[in-house]
Amino acid sequence: MELDFERCYRAVDSRDQRFDGWFYTAVRTTGIYCRPSCPAVTPKRENVTFHPSAAAAQRGGFRACRRCRPDAAPGSPEWDLRADLVGRAMRLIADGVVDRDGVPGLASRLGYTERHLNRLLTAELGAGPLALARAQRAQTARILIETTDLGLAEIAFAAGFGSVRQFNDTILEVYARSPSALRERRTARQPEAGTISLRLAFRAPLHAGALLGFLAARALPGIEECDVTTYRRGLSLPHGSATVALTPGDRWVSATLRLADVRDLAPAVARCRRLFDLDADPVAVDGMLGADPALVAAVRTEPGVRVPRAVDGFELAVRAIVGQQVSVAGARRTLSRLVPPAAGELRGFPDAATVAELGDTAFRMPAARRETIRALAQAVADGKLDLEPGADREESVARMLEVPGIGAWTAGYVAMRAIGDPDVFLPTDVAVRRGARALGLPDSPQALAAHAERWRPWRSYALMRLWRAA
């Protein structure tokens, strides 16, 4: 990835928070790297280099700034936007695939050789998949050191390190402090035993009301709940279950996690960020959409509207199928019968293998829709259909369309919310057409689709605007 020196330096000189996560500033004289908005004195031009990833800066021998915490910056919005191999790889690394399955597992998921994947990531990001995962492990370890009472050896393995020595060496290299020295900076104890509280950074603005309102209307009892300030849900993670409470604020989203296994911290954080679309660039999105006279008023009065995404691609696909040609409230009632609430804590949605084996009595819906869900579940369980963020978007949509009962609307909706495609448009959607009329846009599918071409590559965000207008 080429970084224009002048543009990057201007962003650093103005401490522009919008560029946090896009690149990292390394200062030769201090040996540290920072986020662009670091409040420290702007370094001289001749002492600065710019890196496309924290891992690249670490590879160059720089340590993380203790003042601006560059490892806690929002992720680059580029990885949500891009559908190519690098974008897919970055989404999978964030979800902890390298920690669980190694680089061979990542390469296998992507369908490329390890050598080709390493070469491509190094060319684009200045570091290979192992170094990128290592940078993430260091951040996970720092969070656990500073916010939990776990022993340091437990933290080492929970963060994904292969040995305590590797953990000690990495923390010392990245933060210029030993794990025990970092522990001295530990924040106040957690409000409840077994919880981890942290702050999830985002690029302002964030329209929390639109986000929570969308999720509240679709909240499934026993799985999730939402009020005007906080969203809570159960999660099914690689090593066990979890619950999370997310409360948006002015500068970050406060997250409180209860994990059955602390090794799931990184994937839990990645899924929460994905659900709230926290790595988006709202200034770029609103700038594009606000250039359309039909949307300019909506953008000005409600800046920062995000696309609510998903923590589980299969769950989202089932919801989309159940919601075909019925109201949001009707779909919610049907789903509540399919997954009845259980006593106790919120839990994650059943996995594909479980749903594929459910008897007919569990599906209180038309037979054709029941068989569509079963066919989808079987395809996901067999590995023939990938609905997670690292999926090839075009291939996944094509595979979904092969399932009887799944059409263009359902496949597009799943691509937008589960796979994270920022450029989906659904011109046949009744609410979209109603919103278009409210904003003075043409409401015929053909004319509306033609008008929406000017909103690329952010048509998914335009959809949210039209739904709100409806």
Cite the active site residues.
34, 429
Instruction: Decide: helix, strand or coil at residue 401.
Output: helix
Distance, CA of 357 to chain centre? 30
> Do 367 and 355 contact (CB within 8 A), yes or no?
no
> Do 204 and 180 contact (CB within 8 A), yes or no?
no
Name the token pair of 188.
């106040």
> Do 422 and 307 contact (CB within 8 A), yes or no?
yes
User: What whole-number distance in Å separates Cα of residue 429 and Cα of residue 323?
Assistant: 12
User: What whole-number distance in Å separates Cα of residue 279 and Cα of residue 274?
Assistant: 8
Instruction: Decide: helix, strand or coil at residue 174.
Output: helix
DSSP assignment, residue 168? H
Q: Identify the helix (H) or strand (E) that includes residue 234.
A: strand 231-237
Backbone angles phi, psi at 295, to 5 degrees: -110, -10
Length of the chain: 470
- SS3 for 427-455 is CCCHHHHHHHHHCCCCCCHHHHHHHHHHH
